[in-house]
Amino acid sequence: MNLKVKLFAMLQDQFDTEITVTISEPITGSAIKSALIKKLPGSQEIVQESRIAINQEFIDDTLPQTGNILDVAIIPPVSGG
């Protein structure tokens, strides 16, 4: 399955606003992260620390996702002041 993943914060600064990855079912946060690491050289550390959101809700990386996946995003940890 091809998924468009929206990138935010430092990932967006380094790469782009969106990237398409190919994932085999079952779809999990871990599978999405692995696909991103393969497509984005040098991103391993930040991708592993980031959260995956599907349909605008954060997911558990290990739980298979069911239903219609309309929106996928990766949100790196950010700090603010």
Average pLDDT over the chain, rounded to an integer: 94
Residue 79, pLDDT score: 75
Q: Where are the beta strands (DSSP E) in 1-81?
A: 2-7, 18-22, 51-54, 57-58, 72-75
Q: What residues of the chain score a pLDDT lower than 70?
A: 80-81
Which residue segments constitute the domains of the chain, with CATH numbers given?
2-75 (3.10.20.30)
Model pTM?
A: 0.92
